[in-house]
């Protein structure tokens, strides 16, 4: 399958200011595959080291961080002669050796000619406090599950991707049924590579769900294995509450759903741990949609989304028939899946700052508010073709935004003050905004 992250890696390779790169992302989002694929397609040779499995090289980073000594050891380990220009060096699971993270500083300062990529699933929580992190000496790239566009491409539907990019809305609408068919598949399968590969093999939904449950089990195993023991029960409580949190009329995270009388300070560490692992997205409320959004964030109010829509549907135990064919009693959780889907597509852009807005003294809430190139754009999310936009109207009357977006199953439509963007075309939002 193709990953758009390859293009970012090529840009990194060709940059005159290239620094060692750290790829962040949750377990099983495809970091290892992406690094190896990049190496095989863009370099003459790749030296790959998994620091979690290769204990022999741990001592390499315990001494003086001599670049020459590290290179000699890597050559001996791989049996390859490392040429800086045509060799990609990969340190996978780098969090297993925090000193290896420190060594990246010396590659940056003393040997910037080497092409170094690293990754670690638990990087955010495994960097020990006594380890010197190379601030300013590394670059970061976040990798997420496959987007809807990548999912289409993986299914052999690259023509549909081209049609979306073409922004010919009459042509796009002509293929609406096909877009919706694959969107529903995506709601069930999600974008984690292993379930996607299982779906591509024979469209076996039971096998897809089995793999998703295995991934969820592996995530929970990480709680016990890697998290401080005192927060493990709270981690599980937060994690298991997310489907119910998102299914509420307001998807704002409510501590009372975890345990009666729960307070924010009791669960702050647990939520931070999940964030650091890349297993959740935390979207903060803004009390005013002004620039910059971060200056108006209310850190006490937020929504918590999972890393992947397929995992959310698995946690909700939603069967394939319900998602593919619909069900009258599926309404509320369908809204949760749709909001998760939109957040997941928005997160793939490096150019969006993502928040949400709610009124102080009413129930009005706009699902997302994004900052993009000097604009603040409200986005209302609808799971079907219901086009009532009460909260968006409240927002408009109060703040008079230059541009407003509603995403729904309805066709593309421009109104005086709002544009309706089909859910299956959320990927085209950035291109739409560029043309304002």
Q: What is the reported pLDDT for 125?
A: 63
Per-residue pLDDT of the chain (436 residues; tens, 9 = 90+): 899 999 999 999 999 999 999 999 999 999 999 999 999 999 999 999 999 999 999 999 987 899 999 999 999 999 999 999 999 999 999 999 989 999 999 999 999 999 999 998 877 665 544 566 788 999 999 999 999 999 999 999 999 999 999 999 999 999 999 999 999 999 999 999 999 999 999 999 999 999 999 999 999 999 998 899 999 999 999 999 999 999 998 999 999 999 999 999 999 999 999 999 999 999 999 999 999 999 999 999 999 999 999 999 999 999 999 999 877 667 789 999 999 999 999 999 999 999 999 998 889 999 999 999 999 999 999 999 877 889 999 999 999 999 999 999 999 999 889 999 999 999 999 999 998 7
Cis preceding linkage at 313, omega within 30: no
Length of the chain equals 436
Q: Which of 114, 116, 108, 111 is nearest to 35 (CA)?
A: 116
Q: What is the reported pLDDT for 127?
A: 54
Cα–Cα distance for residue pair 98/132, rounded to 1 Å:
8
Q: What is the reported pLDDT for 92?
A: 97
Cα–Cα distance for residue pair 28/30, rounded to 1 Å:
5
pTM of the model: 0.95
Q: What is the reported pLDDT for 301?
A: 97
Query: Per residue in 366-384, pLDDT tens?
Result: 999 999 999 999 999 999 9
Alpha-carbon torsion (310, 92, 105, 122), positive or negative: positive
In which element (H, E) is residue 46 found? strand 45-50
Q: Which of 376, 358, 375, 359 is nearest to 367 (CA)?
A: 358
Return the number of other C-beta atoms located less than 10 Å from residue 362's C-beta: 9
CB contact at 8 A, 93 and 51? yes
Q: What is the reported pLDDT for 388?
A: 83
Which structural domains are found in the chain, ordered by start? 5-142 (3.40.50.300), 205-434 (3.40.1350.10)
Query: Per residue in 106-155, pLDDT tens?
Result: 999 999 999 999 998 877 665 544 566 788 999 999 999 999 999 999 99
């Amino acid at each position: 399958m193709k990953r758009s992250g390859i293009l970012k890696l090529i840009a990194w390779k060709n940059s005159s200011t290239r620094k060692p790169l750290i790829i962040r992302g949750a377990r099983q989002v495809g970091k290892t595959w992406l690094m190896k694929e990049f190496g095989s397609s863009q370099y003459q040779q790749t030296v790959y080291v998994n620091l979690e499995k290769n204990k022999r090289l741990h001592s390499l980073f315990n001494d003086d961080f001599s670049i020459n000594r590290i290179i000699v050891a890597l050559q001996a380990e791989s049996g390859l002669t490392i040429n800086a220009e045509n060799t990609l060096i990969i340190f996978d699971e780098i969090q297993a050796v925090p000193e290896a993270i420190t060594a990246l500083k010396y590659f940056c300062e003393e040997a910037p000619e080497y092409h170094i990529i690293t990754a670690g699933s638990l990087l955010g929580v495994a960097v020990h406090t006594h380890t010197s992190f190379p601030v300013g000496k590394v670059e970061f790239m976040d990798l997420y599950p496959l987007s809807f566009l990548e999912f289409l491409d993986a299914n052999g539907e690259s023509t549909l991707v081209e049609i979306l990019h073409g922004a010919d809305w009459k042509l796009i609408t002509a293929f609406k049924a096909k877009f919706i068919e694959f969107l529903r598949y995506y709601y069930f399968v999600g974008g984690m590579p292993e379930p996607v590969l299982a779906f591509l093999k024979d469209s076996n939904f039971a096998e897809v769900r089995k793999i998703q449950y295995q991934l969820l089990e592996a995530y929970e195993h990480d709680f016990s294995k890697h998290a401080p023991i005192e927060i493990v029960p709270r981690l599980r409580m937060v994690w298991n509450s997310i489907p119910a949190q998102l299914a509420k009329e307001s998807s704002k995270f409510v501590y009372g759903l975890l345990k009666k009388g729960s307070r924010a300070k009791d669960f702050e560490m647990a939520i931070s741990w999940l964030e650091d692992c890349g297993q959740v997205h935390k979207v903060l409320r803004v009390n005013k949609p002004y620039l910059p959004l971060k200056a108006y964030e209310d850190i006490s109010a937020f929504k918590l989304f999972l890393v992947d829509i397929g995992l959310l549907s698995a946690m909700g135990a939603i069967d394939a028939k319900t998602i593919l064919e619909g069900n009258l009693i599926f309404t509320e959780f369908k809204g949760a899946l749709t909001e998760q889907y939109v957040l997941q597509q928005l997160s793939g852009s490096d150019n969006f700052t993502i928040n949400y807005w709610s009124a102080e003294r009413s129930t009005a809430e706009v699902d997302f508010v994004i900052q993009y190139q000097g604009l603040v754009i409200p986005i209302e999310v609808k799971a079907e073709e219901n086009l009532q936009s009460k909260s968006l109207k409240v927002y408009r009357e109060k703040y008079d935004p230059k541009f407003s977006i509603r995403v729904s199953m309805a066709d593309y439509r421009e109104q005086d003050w709002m544009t309706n963007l089909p859910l299956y075309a959320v990927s085209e939002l950035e291109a739409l905004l560029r043309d304002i």
